[in-house]
Structure formats: structure tokens, C-alpha cells
Amino acid sequence: MVTRPPNVIGYLHLGHAIMCTLEETISRWHRMCGDTVPWVPGCDHAVNYIYKQMKVLGSSCDWLRQDFTMDENISNIVKEAFTRMHEKKLIYRSKQLVNWSCTLKSAISDIEIEKMELKGRSLIPVPGYEHPIEFSVLIYFAYSVENSGEKIIAATSRLETMLGDTAVVVHPDDERYKDLHGKYVQQPFLQRRLPILTDTMVGPAFDSSAVKVTPAHDHK
């Protein structure tokens, strides 16, 4: 039996105590039945402290056979497991958006992300930057409707994504834009035609109630 390696926690909590208790109960029961039960401890960080906690709990692991997930032999086993699952089409590889840390130079998991709801312009300290970084600033700009003097005002907090815009979407019942359904606006820098589409998902979140569409830059 192998312990499941704790990760991204630093110290054991009550959930791990339950896990250790259950595994300890199973291993001791089978030993009482005369079975040979090697219980191999595994860990991936904070090794010394976690093992100390497990010993305090009375875990009867085979401490001479402990494994660390970054050991070469364990890494090779993990690679082999993923290779086999890929060959059986149980997992796949594709290009997906990830949480990227500019400081760590690495992708990080969702559980390591601190989500914040901002009510307006905010200056927030960011690791790796000397001064606080400005967030949640709405920038309004106008897209000119093709062959018309009309304009559609859009709001965004990511103005740099304008270069990737592929469409502008308005609510089908918005009286301000009903005569523009199916028409086009001009992307001012690339001279690209963007269709004006309709969707009931567009709500009155901003004054303009017009949403620009930029693929592949957000999870939503």
C-alpha cells in the first residue's frame, strides 16, 4: 500500500489524519490476519515536517522505503503512467488557457489562485513588480459602423485585446442597435470588418451594452 502524497499544503490537516487512520486500520488488520503489508510513505514537499506528523499519528509505514515524488525513479513511473493513458486515449493533450505566474515562470493550478472581486479602479501589489499594478479600469472606445456615420461604443478592461476582435455583439431587443443587426464595423488599426451580432447573453453591464468578442484570451 502507498500513501497518497499530500500536495500544496505544507502541513497535514484533519483530512489527512482521516486518510492516515483508514490506511493504518487496513494495514494493521491485514497484518493481524498474517498478511505481509508494506505501507510505503510518499510525499512531494515539506517532507520532514509531514513525516514527523505522520509518525506522531502512529502511522506504521515502512520508513526505510519512503519515496519523494521528484525522485528520478518516481518521475519515470509517472511519465510511464501518463504515456500509457495517452496511448489508450484516456487522456489527451491540447492547447488550453492556463494560470501563468510571471514571477514563478510556471503554470499554477486553480486552487493556488486568489480571486478578487473589484468594484472599480484598484491598485494592487503584484509579486515581481516594484509598484502596485492598476486593475479594473474600463476603457470606452467607438467602432465606426461601415458605410454609416453611426458608432457603437464598447467598454473593456483589456484594450490591448482590440487587435484580436472578431465581432461586436448587442442584445437583439436593444432599440439603439436594431437597425444595425447584420451590419459591420471597422477595426480602426487593421482595417478589418467585424460583424455586428446579437445574443441575449449581452446585458446592461455597461452603459453601452455592446460587447466586443476576442477569442482565446479568457476562460469565459
Tens digit of pLDDT at every position of the chain (220 positions): 777 655 545 677 787 788 889 999 999 999 999 999 988 887 776 566 788 888 888 889 998 888 777 788 888 888 999 999 999 999 998 888 888 887 778 888 888 888 888 888 899 988 778 899 888 888 888 899 998 889 998 878 888 888 899 999 998 888 888 899 999 999 888 888 999 999 888 875 555 678 888 887 665 5
Domain endpoint, select from 135, 158, 193: 135
Q: Which three cell numbers stand for residue 43?
A: 510525499
Does 7 fall in a domain?
A: no
- Per the CB < 8 A criterion, the answer to whether 163 and 189 are in contact is yes
- Residues constituting the chain: 220
Does 92 fall in a domain?
A: no
Pair 206, 175 in one domain:
yes
Interatomic CA distance for residues 131 and 2, integer angstroms = 47
Q: How many structural domains compose the chain?
A: 3
Pair 62, 109 in one domain:
no
DSSP 28: H
Q: What's the domain range around 202?
A: 139-213
For the chain, state the CA radius of gyration: 28
Does 44 fall in a domain?
A: yes
Pair 209, 144 in one domain:
yes
Interatomic CA distance for residues 171 and 133, integer angstroms = 33
